[in-house]
Homo-oligomer: A and B are copies of this chain.
Amino acid sequence: MIQQQGLSLKQAGGNAECKPDVRLLTDMEPQKADILIVTVKSYHVESIIPYIKTLFTNTRSVLFIQNGMTHIQYLPQLQDHSIYLGVVEHGAMRASDACVSHTGIGRTKVAPYVDGHAGINWEGLKSEAFPFILENDWYAMLSRKLHINSVINPLTALFNVKNGRLLEVPQWTELMRGLSREACNVLRINRMEAWEDLVQVCQNTSKNTSSMLRDLEQGRQTEMDAINGYLVQLAKQDNINVPNHEFVFRAVKGLELLKGRGDRNG
């Protein structure tokens, strides 16, 4: 569809269209590019790695934009590349198979995976509607996002509500507190700062449907493994109690199983 119709972008500043040269990985010739940006879901990163090694040997810089941290384990396989990690704060939704709707301008944060990278002048690439910020601590950057995702995503998916509801229902805000506290223990980040950050994001995205709820609604696999599943694994290694994350992990994985089978009601 994209090959035939091109891609279109709906945004406040005016719509845009382009006709990108899209190919399946299996149909692709080796490429040389300024940068390779990998935006597959975290659970697909592992299967992409061999293609990067063979098709992009001459492309030095690779930017990985995924939720959670489970994909980090595969990056050491890419010894010959300069790796960046990124998180995106734009509001965006797939309006149809060949159309993306840009619903809110946000920052794209980028951090080098190991020190000493050069190559991409991120600050030079930014525009008003598409700002880049170069971070120096990828772990802090990803763990901050992981903490937020691990609270907002499963609760909105479980209760079938938009993000803002979690702050309107006091009992659910208590559940946010429990999940946040546990995530901070596991990720070893400051509880108070993390909580303020979380509330801020929840307010800013109050009208949004979380990606996890959207995945469930559409019968797709969620990113539960990379988000709460990752925290549960890490907690087990470090002997930290995370009963709330264990609960939401099992609850949402069960919903995923049922909705993936097409049984949406009862």
Binding site for B on A (CB under 8 A): 158-162, 165, 169-172, 174-175, 178, 209, 243-244, 246-247, 249-251, 253-255, 257-258, 265-266
Which DSSP category, helix, strand, loop or mixed, fits chain A's interface?
A: helix
Residues in chain B near residue A175, CB distance under 8 A: 247, 250-251, 254
- Nearest first, the 3 closest Cβ-Cβ pairs linking A and B are A243-B243, A171-B254, A171-B250
- Contact assessment for B160 and A254 in the assembled complex, using a CB-CB cutoff below 8 Å: no
Bound CA span A147–B178, Å: 24
**Integer count of this chain's copies in the complex:** 2
Q: A165-B258, A265-B160, A266-B161 are known contacts. Are A171 and B253 too (CB-CB below 8 A)?
A: yes
A214 to B: closest C-beta gap in Å: 12
Q: Which B residues touch A209, using CB under 8 A?
A: 266
Which listed residue, B158, B159, B254, B266, touches A169 by the CB 8 Å rule?
B254
Q: Which of B178, B246, B250 contacts A172 (CB 8 A)?
A: B250
Q: Closest Cβ of chain B: how far from A236's Cβ, in Å? A: 15
B158 touches A158 (CB 8 A): yes
Smallest beta-carbon distance A65→chain B, Å: 27
* Cβ-defined contact, A247 with B258, below 8 A: no
A172/B266 in contact, CB under 8 A: no
In whole Å, how far is A174's beta carbon from the nearest beta carbon of chain B?
A: 5
Would B171 and A257 count as touching, CB distance under 8 A? yes
Instruction: Please determine whether B250 and A247 come into contact, CB atoms closer than 8 angstroms.
Output: no
